[in-house]
Structure 1
Amino acid sequence: MKEFECYHGTSHENFLKIKSNGFIVKPRDDHWLGNGIYFFLDDIDKGRWWSRNNPYTRNNPTVIKIILKVFNENFLNLDVERDQSILDCFADEFRESLQELRVSIPGMNEHAWHCMVIDAFVKENPEYKAIARTFYTDRPVGASGFCGVGRQLCIHDKSLLSLNDLQEIRVKKTRRKRKRRSTS
């Protein structure tokens, strides 16, 4: 069993709705780990950043924290060779079936392809309830020489989430720097 410390950036109002009614998945065709509920792993600062910078949540930012437990057989870790190979084999077969059906998807970007493949994979393999992957951020390379990374977990099965275990962490809004007026 894997245990994850998860952070979801949102607004205080959304937190109250989620606490009462659960998470709502808003399908899009470009979610990079498929359609589901996204969390940053082990990094509250990325949850804070999301809640402050998302136009729908930045007026009253908050972070939801939850400790999630996922059985190994329900978890696809796209940071390890074995699980990448599982998804790659499926993607090869999926692409072939699209070609046999003469389905053309010109101009599809990388995230849209990931979303399509993972959504189809989870539909065909419902035992996979959560998928994780590390991503690069736009944080500049620092003096250490390391580029910025983050890790996300996408929950494809809401039964993994206990609403009673959700904790709210309020986020202070960032203040905009005021320009000094010239006194000349």
Structure 2
Amino acid sequence: MADFNRSGLNLLVYAFHGTSHTNAMKIVSQKKFEVKNRKNHWLGTGVYFFRDDPEQAMSWAKIKNEEKNCAVIKADLALNSDYFLNLDSRDGIEYFQKFISIIDEKTKGIKFKHKNNEDSHNVLMNFYCNFLTDEIKAIQRTFKTTSKRLNNLKRLKKVNMHLNGVQLCIRDQSIIDFDKISLNKLSYGNNENREKIN
């Protein structure tokens, strides 16, 4: 059993990736995601999905594509405890804390140049995640979203609630069954098609 997931639980996860319609068609036809290092990544280099939330994936796609011709890809991911690091679990956080300690010891004396703001946490988190062992093929963490509309509603603020997004970073695409991925949702400007499209 892996140190980072002692539960031994295997999960079937419904994962949703928001992108442009053009990129979605390319991903489905080529059966692979093109992965680039990006400044807005925080769980390391990989393919990012929202867990169980196609609406959040579409919202992300609309922001990135300025509301034009967006799509959401659905992937059913069988996450095995041998390679799934869940940073929302006690096991995952304990493992990650020990890992950070080891990296900090090895990089003692190296100064990181980054702005001291909220983004600096993401940069540092991304740095650590990129040093994780290749044995870890998927990472999960829940983050507070940047939805100003929902996060500023008085009724939700009154009960200290805000919108979270459970994100998955798939570091190894071999765990994605590309024969079973599908376009789950399309948006052309303000018109959305919510039906599954193969």
TM-score class, shorter? 0.7 to 0.9
Instruction: Give the structure 1 partner of residue 33 of structure 2.
Output: 23
Instruction: Give the structure 2 partner of residue 40 of structure 1.
Output: 50
Contiguous gaps of at least 5 residues in structure 1: 176-184
Contiguous gaps of at least 5 residues in structure 2: 1-9, 191-198
Count of residues in Structure 1 that have an aligned counterpart in Structure 2: 170
Contact kept in structure 2, 1:12 and 1:170, CA below 8 Å: no
Q: Does 1:75 align with 2:90?
A: no
Q: Does 1:106 align with 2:106?
A: no
Q: Does 1:66 align with 2:75?
A: yes
Moved more, 135-144 or 109-118: 135-144
Q: Does 1:143 align with 2:158?
A: no
What is the Cα-based RMSD across aligned positions, in Å? 1.9
Question: What TM-score, normalized to structure 1?
Answer: 0.85
Deviation of the 1:15 alpha carbon: 1.3
1:163 to 168, 178, 189: 178
Deviation of the 1:29 alpha carbon: 4.6
Q: Where do 4+ consecutive residues of structure 1 move more than 4 Å?
A: none
In 1, Cα distance between equivalents of 2:50 and 2:141: 10
Instruction: Give the structure 1 partner of residue 5 of structure 2.
Output: none
Larger radius of gyration: 1
For the structure 1 residues 53 and 30, does the alpha-carbon distance in structure 2 shift closer, same or farther, using more than 3 Å as the test? closer
Contact kept in structure 2, 1:133 and 1:152, CA below 8 Å: yes
Deviation of the 1:126 alpha carbon: 1.7
Q: Which amino acid aligns with 1:104?
A: K
In 1, Cα distance between equivalents of 2:140 and 2:107: 26
SS state at 2:155 partner: coil
Instruction: Give the structure 2 partner of residue 6 of structure 1.
Output: 15
In 2, Cα distance between equivalents of 1:172 and 1:30: 23
Contact kept in structure 1, 2:20 and 2:65, CA below 8 Å: no
SS state at 1:104 partner: coil
Q: Does 1:54 align with 2:64?
A: yes
Deviation of the 1:127 alpha carbon: 1.6
Contact kept in structure 2, 1:30 and 1:113, CA below 8 Å: no
SS state at 1:40 partner: strand
Deviation of the 1:171 alpha carbon: 2.5
In 1, Cα distance between equivalents of 2:187 and 2:25: 18
Contact kept in structure 1, 2:140 and 2:167, CA below 8 Å: yes
Question: What TM-score, normalized to structure 2?
Answer: 0.79
